[in-house]
Amino acid sequence: MCFDDYDVVIVGAGFFGATIAERVANDLGKRVLVMDKRSHIGGNAYSETCPETGVEVHKYGAHLFHTPNSLVWDYLNKFTSFTDYKHRVFTSFKQQVYMMPINLGTICQFFNKQLSPDEARALIAEQAAELGGKAPQNLEEKAISLIGRPLYETFIRGYTAKQWQTDPKELPESIITRLPVRYNFDNRYFNDAYEGLPVDGYTAIFERMLKNDLIDIKLGVDYFDVRSNISKEKLVIYTGPIDRYFNYAAGELKWRTIDFEPEVLNLGDYQGTSVMNYADEDVPFTRILEFRHFNPERNYQTEKTIIVREYSRFAERKDEPYYPVNTNDDKRVYLDYKAMTDKESNVIFGGRLGTYRYLDMHQAIGAALKTYDVEVKKFFTT
């Protein structure tokens, strides 16, 4: 493979890489090579149609687009329009179903009494008082400070332990701050101003972003098999695991991966909603996705449905890493790698894997747009 014809080599065809590629080609008029070791573009946001049901399936787990950032929203609307889908989640615990995130309805149902917002706040404050004003030091303490121990042990502890394969006491408190707690009956999962699903699916977004004669795409290519052929003067955007880039010189970072178990059922509706979490620790999977409910506007047939059970576990080197575990030890290892990146000339690290950060899709796009403005354009103008 000859790299001399390209101005930029981008490793990874997910949102970070695709955004940089689109900007470089359409704004700067430079030639771009996008490579990915997978057989498709789109990274973890890739979606495809199930041949048995005709239902669009997010191959690597549910991807719900939402953002408070109007710049990101306007940018992505150049490549797709969005449905008015509003994400709502339910949780199963001991054969009972509750609304998530925790809201006034969840609290009333759990404690089996009707509570006003002020009464619910007082009850939760009383249960959260066990910390005695101590600043939370981990996920468990942060959760207890937000919702008290009974709700934490029911809805958060078991699910989190399964999801992260890590004791919640060892996880950073920042993870739980992503989950809102509401003292009203609003059961929307996200608070963001902009939310929806792409009308034509996620893969169509990437096809439109990368549709430029200046962009070439090479799939099924492992960057590490061809890295030695790329000139040190060439700009490289790397979005793979940062520890893999440096051949684990500072140690292995811990990642969480997911095993997906799809099943086609001969019925029209399995669970009545798109996502059902399972908080019981003795249930091996974390949640069940039923993809037909992500697109109620589509005229899907009603004879069959497809569900996917998700099983979370630690990633090994052969696995696809999805989420950084980010314990204190991981943070120290990452800082070593971050120092190494500063010594890499003409290489920009980005995306969830390249920066060891838990980035949502809109955050990856926002980071890519900023990286393009601050670093990539500067590379070609200096």
Residues with a catalytic annotation lie at 178, 182, 256, 287, 310, 358, 360
With b for 16 or more beta-carbon neighbours within 10 A and e for fewer, the 146-177 pattern comes to bbbeebbebbbbbbbebbbebebeebbbebbe
Distances (CA, A) of 241 to 46, 253, 262, 281, 307: 18, 9, 27, 30, 29
Q: How many helices (H) and strands (E) does the chain have?
A: 13, 16
Across 79-114, b (16+ Cβ under 10 Å) vs e yields bbeebebebbbbbbbeeeebbbbbbbebbbebeeee
The answer to whether 347 touches 341, Cβ cutoff 8 Å, is yes
Angle, to 10 degrees, between the axis of helix 139-151 and the axis of helix 104-111? 50
Please state whether the peptide bond connecting residue 101 to the residue before it is cis, i.e. omega within 30 degrees of 0.
yes
Q: H or E segment at 167? A: none
Helices (H), the chain: 15-23, 70-76, 104-111, 117-128, 139-151, 157-164, 202-209, 223-226, 242-245, 328-341, 351-355, 361-371, 377-381
Cα dihedral 25→28→32→35 (10° resolution): -70
End-to-end alpha carbon distance in the chain: 28
- CA 330/CA 164 separation, integer angstroms: 14
- Amino acid at residue number 161: A
- Which residues, 6+ apart, have CB-to-CB distance to 202 below 8 Å? 42, 45, 46, 47, 58, 63
Q: How far apart are CA 246 and CA 3, in angstroms?
A: 22
* Angstrom distance (rounded) from CA 139 to CA 160: 9
Q: 352 near 324, Cβ under 8 Å? A: yes
